[in-house]
Amino acid sequence: MNVLQVSAEIFPLLKTGGLADVAGALPQALNAAGCEVRVLLPGFAPILADLQGAKLLTTLHAPWGEMVALRQGRLTSLGLQAYVIDVPTLYHRAGSPYADEQGQPFTDNDRRFALLGWVAARLTAGLDSAWQPRVVHSHDWHAALAGAYLAYLPPQRQRVASVYTVHNLAYQGLFAPRHFFELGLPASAFAVDGLEFHGQLSFMKAGLYYADHITTVSPTYAREIQTPEQGCGLDGLLRTRAADLSGILNGVDEAVWDPAHDAALAARYDARNPEGKKQCKAELQRLLGLSVAADAPLFGVVSRLTEQKGLHLVLGVIDELIARGGQLVVLGAGDAALQTAFAERAKAHPASVSVRIGYDEPYAHQIFGATDVTLVPSRFEPCGLTQMYGLKYGSLPLVHRVGGLADTVMDCSLENLAEGSANGFVFSEFDVPSLSRAVARAFALYDQPAQWRKVRARAMRQRLDWSQAASQYLALYQRLCH
């Protein structure tokens, strides 16, 4: 089955978050399950640089008149066939894929990402005479217009199904209504039953309204987004589409995340032979100037530093963590006040706390390899990959009971320990006292080395690869196409 995956970023070429990890790993898993997946991406410089054997498939005029070159080739880093939208004036800019160097969103982001959906629809209509998709699978608001453009194409000989995956409902792609008229959609599409959202143009709403089926990245998050608390104003629409909404839990790309073969680690290890983890811990402690103490539980944070990620809660337990003899290593960037607060704690306690502002992929691997506990206290978390990386690397996740965190982590309560399901630490109320009690449970288990090793081995043996998700997506595609 031919599947076109549409996304704004893809690991390892361009990454700002978990979306890129999914966009890079899911096509490989689907191909292994019997699909033929091609990807459609914007022409950011790292993506074009990786495009091997690129040929100009066609040139087009965008709905607003701009010349668009569509290139086709093979992404060397991923071994995937790709279509890349090459418009240097739109994609070759300083800053991030979405914002300038001052962090301000580009004022023409509607055009930059509308092209993903617009070109996807034209590929279903025969733009590439040698290959046409049966399914267009678009990801997050950047690619959300694919379903809308498909809905307004002339009838085709072969029906093309559209699947839209929500990775984070909070980021919706909202624009002033005047931008609608640049998109080449009929005026009737700017309506309550369409792209209009409280007077604005919403890419996210387009994806939710027009796709044949909506998926999101965990079963719990699929339920949560149908509530006013986590529906971000779209819960009513999601409830009306409940029959066409499902949660499929993300997986871990084991070609990238595997402590038995991870070149970034000081030593390799696995669940059967975990001794290398001690070496990883000692090496990271030494490298960061922390006290080299095997008996000090080492907690890790690899995250955007934002309130949504619950990092203000972590600040509220640092003193307790240090007083108990623990250590903390942080990697991330985001809110300036949080960055400053963490940096100040590291300066005040250099033997116990290390903070690095920014993101460094190999260093993230080293943190998971060295730490005993991975902190993921998010206010909401659609799926979360961080806790899965923690499980894979034997760094027991300590999480808030929401979204995919609730679907993947079982608390080390007495009953869960007794029945053999415990693999981490979970707290329910989003406040410092609840996090503090979970931290205390982590210290209590760490003081029982035999029990800790047993739970850690169970966590590391969990099946977290993409094969199960790929089989669920394939079954969905087949159902939609018949």
Q: What CA–CA distance (Å, rounded) separates 280 from 267?
A: 6
Please give the span between the terminal C-alpha atoms of the chain, in angstroms, as a whole number: 12
Please, are residues 342 and 318 in contact by the beta-carbon 8 Å criterion? no
The angle at the Cα of 334, spanning 328 to 339, to the nearest 5 degrees, equals 50
Residue 327 confidence (pLDDT): 98
Nearest Cα to Cα of residue 82 among 13, 18, 15, 181? 13
User: Which tens digit of pLDDT belongs to each residue from 292-318?
Assistant: 999 999 999 999 999 999 999 999 999
Give the global pTM: 0.93
User: Which tens digit of pLDDT belongs to each residue from 192-229?
Assistant: 999 999 999 999 999 999 999 999 999 999 999 999 99
Phi, psi at residue 54, to the nearest 5°?
-65, 135
Question: What sign for the dihedral angle of Cα 73, 79, 80, 81?
Answer: positive
Please, are residues 39 and 83 in contact by the beta-carbon 8 Å criterion? yes
Nearest Cα to Cα of residue 284 among 298, 273, 274? 298
Where residue 155 falls among pLDDT bands split at 50, 70, 90? confident
Q: Provide the 3-class DSSP secondary structure of residue 79.
A: coil
Domains 2-251+467-480 and 276-461 share a fold: yes
Could you please report the per-residue DSSP string of 131-165? ---SEEEEETGGGTTHHHHHHTSPP-SS--EEEEE
Range 2-251+467-480 classified under CATH 3.40.50.2000 = yes
The dotted CATH code for 276-461 is: 3.40.50.2000
Q: What CA–CA distance (Å, rounded) separates 242 from 250?
A: 20
Residue 107 pLDDT greater than 90, yes or no: yes
How many CB atoms are located within 10 Å of the residue 69 CB? 15
Residue 258 pLDDT greater than 90, yes or no: yes
Q: Provide the 3-class DSSP secondary structure of residue 124.
A: helix
- Which pair of tokens denotes residue 97? 């894929």
Q: Which residue has the tokens 């990454």?
A: 15
Residue 17 pLDDT greater than 90, yes or no: no
What's 38's DSSP letter?
A: E
* CB-neighbour burial class of residue 27 (10 A; exposed 0-12, middle 13-18, buried 19+): buried
Please, are residues 60 and 50 in contact by the beta-carbon 8 Å criterion? no
Where residue 12 falls among pLDDT bands split at 50, 70, 90? very high
What's 180's DSSP letter?
A: G
Residue 202 confidence (pLDDT): 98
Where residue 158 falls among pLDDT bands split at 50, 70, 90? confident
Q: Using CA atoms in the order 427, 430, 434, 439, what is the torsion angle rounded to 10 degrees?
A: 60
Q: Provide the 3-class DSSP secondary structure of residue 202.
A: strand
How many CB atoms are located within 10 Å of the residue 301 CB? 24
Q: Give the DSSP H/E element, type plus range, for residue 90.
A: helix 88-91
User: Which tens digit of pLDDT belongs to each residue from 452-480?
Assistant: 999 999 999 999 999 999 999 999 999 99
Residue 137 pLDDT greater than 90, yes or no: yes
Could you please report the per-residue DSSP string of 357-423? ES--HHHHHHHHHH-SEEEE--S--SS-SHHHHHHHTT-EEEEESSHHHHHH--B--HHHHHHT---
Q: Could you tell me what percent of the chain has a pLDDT over 90?
A: 97
Please, are residues 147 and 121 in contact by the beta-carbon 8 Å criterion? no
Please, are residues 204 and 148 in contact by the beta-carbon 8 Å criterion? no
Could you please report the per-residue DSSP string of 311-360? HHHHHHHHHHHHHTT-EEEEEE-B-HHHHHHHHHHHHH-TTTEEEEES--
How many CB atoms are located within 10 Å of the residue 273 CB? 10
User: Which tens digit of pLDDT belongs to each residue from 380-405?
Assistant: 999 999 999 999 999 999 999 999 99
Q: What CA–CA distance (Å, rounded) separates 13 from 24?
A: 9
Residue 154 confidence (pLDDT): 87
Please, are residues 358 and 382 in contact by the beta-carbon 8 Å criterion? no
Please, are residues 427 and 437 in contact by the beta-carbon 8 Å criterion? yes
Beta strand 67-75 pairing with 51-61: antiparallel
- Which pair of tokens denotes residue 362? 């190999």
Residue 157 pLDDT greater than 90, yes or no: no
Which amino acid, one-letter code, is at 479? R
User: Where are the chain's structural domains?
Assistant: 2-251+467-480, 276-461
HSE-CB at 30 with a 13 A cutoff on CA atoms is 27
